[in-house]
A and B are shown apart, each in its own frame.
Chain A
Amino acid sequence: MSSSNEAAIDEFGVREDVSLLNIFVTFIRLGTMTFGGSVQSWVHREIVNRQRWLDDKTFLSGLGVALVLPGANPVNIALYVGLQLRGGLGAAAAVIGMLLPSFCLILLLGAFYREIGHLGIVHFILAGLAASGVGATLNMGIKVGRRLPRDVMTILVAVCVFVSSAILHWPMVPVVCVAVPVSIAWYYFIAKDSKAKDGKKETKNV
C-alpha cells in the first residue's frame, strides 16, 4: 500500500525502513477493527500480506508468543510487531496506536449506551462485524496451516490443540502448557538434523 512493497525484507523476515509514525498510524487503523476477537487475522493481512513489514514465519512465531503469554492478544501482537520493526519505541507506538481507538470508543459508548443500547440495528451490525472477523480468522488459519511442514508431529500437535480446546472445551492454559513444551522439545531434540531440508523450504516460502 505505502511507498514500496518491493523493499527488502532482511534475512530474519523484518523490514528495516518503517517509521515510528507509520507504525503508530497503521495500528490506530487496525485498532478500530478489533471487533469480535479476530484481531490477529486483520493484523496478519495488513502487516504481512499488504505492507510486507514482516514475513509469514516471523509473524507466526510472534503470534505464538503473543497467544501463549498473558495479556490481551491485540496488545501483545502489536507489541511484538512494533518491537521487531523499531525496538522499544516501535513497541510503544504500536501498543498505544492499537489501544487508542478502542479506549476512546469504549468511553464514548459508555457515555451514550443508555440512548443507543436498545437499538436493534446496533447489535445487528455488531453481529455482522463479528461474523466477518471469524471469516478473516478462518482465512488466516487456512493460509498459515498450508505453510506448516507436513510431518506427522506438526499435524498431530495442531490437531490435538484444536480438538482439546474447540471440541473438548478444555481450558486453554493447561492445553498450551502441555502442547508448547512437547512441540518445542520435539523440534529441539529429535527433528534437529533435518536442517538442510528446512532451509530449502524456508526460502521457497519467503
Chain B
Amino acid sequence: MFDSRLIALAFVFGPLSLLSFGGGQALVPEIQHQTVTVQHWMNDTDFADIFAIARAAPGPSTLIVALIGWQVAGFWGALVGSIAIFLPSSILVYLVGRWWQRNKQSPFRKAIEKGLAPVAVGLIFAGVVVILESAHAGWLGLVTTAAACATLAFTKLSTYSIVGVVVASYALLYYVFPVLAGS
C-alpha cells in the first residue's frame, strides 16, 4: 500500500518533469488536474491551500509536488515526488550540458551561444513585466523594485544584506504604517 503510493507519485510527476517548460509555472494546472481529478489525492480546497504555501516558500513553483507527496505518503512521498519532478529534466539538462562542454571549439556551439543570448535577454525583460503584472504591484512594490535594481547596479552590497534590509524595512512599515499593508 505504502509502496504503491510512492510508485504512483513517481509515475504521475516523472513525465510532467519533461513538460515543465518555462520554469514549471505553466505546469501547475496540470499538476492540479492529476492530483485532484485523476488521482483523487485531495480536493480543490486543499489544493488551493497547498498552492498558497508553495507560493510563499522559496524555490521553484513545481516544488508544490513535495507538499502533495507529503499529503499522500509522508516524508518519503515528499522526497519521491520531488525527485520525480526534477530528475528527468535534470538528466536532459546534464546531457545537453555535457555536449556543451565537450564541444567548446565547435562553430555550432559558438553560434548557439551567440544565438541564445538575445533570446535570454528578451525573456529576462519579459519575466520582469510578467511578474510585476501578476503580482499587481502597487507603488510600494515598484519603489522596492527600483531601489533594489539601483542598489545592485551601483553598490557591491551582498545579496543577503539586501534581502535582510527588505525584510526588516517591510516588517517596520507593517507596524508603523499598517495602511500600506492593506493595499
| A interface residues (Cβ-Cβ under 8 A, vs B) | 1, 12, 29, 31-38, 40-42, 45-46, 50, 57, 60-76, 79-80, 83-84, 88, 91, 95, 99, 101-103, 105-107, 109-110, 113, 117, 120-145, 148-149, 154-155, 157-162, 165-167, 171-173, 176, 179-180, 183-188, 191-192
Chain B residues whose CB sits within 8 angstroms of the CB of A45 once the complex forms? 152, 159
Question: Are B114 and A187 touching (Cβ within 8 A)?
Answer: yes
Point out the residues of chain A lying under 8 angstroms from B129, CB to CB.
166-167
Q: What are some 9 contacts across the A-B interface (CB < 8 A)?
A: A66-B93, A75-B90, A91-B97, A103-B59, A122-B56, A126-B56, A137-B128, A142-B149, A187-B111
Given contacts A69-B92, A130-B135, contact A154 B118 (CB under 8 A): yes
Q: Are B120 and A124 in contact (CB under 8 A)?
A: no
Which secondary structure dominates chain B's binding surface? helix
Chain B stretch 34-80: residues in CB contact (< 8 A) with chain A: 49-50, 52-63, 66-67, 70, 75, 78
B142 partner residues in chain A, CB cutoff 8 A:
131
Q: Is the CB of B90 within 8 A of A79?
A: yes
Task: Assess the B21–A70 pair: CB atoms within 8 A.
Answer: yes
B residues with CB within 8 A of A: 17-26, 49-50, 52-63, 66-67, 70, 75, 78, 82, 86, 89-90, 92-94, 96-98, 100-101, 104, 107-108, 110-132, 135, 137, 140-142, 144-153, 156, 158-160, 162-163, 166-167, 169-171, 173-174, 181
Q: A70-B21, A148-B118 are in contact. Are A109 and B86 (CB under 8 A)?
A: no
Residues in A with CB closer than 8 Å to B58 are 31-35, 101-102, 105
- Which residues of B lie under 8 Å from residue A139 when comparing CB positions? 148-149, 152-153
Complexed CA–CA distance, A64 and B142 (Å): 27
Closest to A183 in B: B115
- Check B163–A134 contact: CB distance below 8 A: no
CA A59 to CA B88, docked complex, whole Å: 23
Interchain CB contact under 8 A, A135 and B59: no
Minimal beta-carbon separation of A191 from chain B (angstroms): 8
Contact A188 B20 (CB under 8 A): no
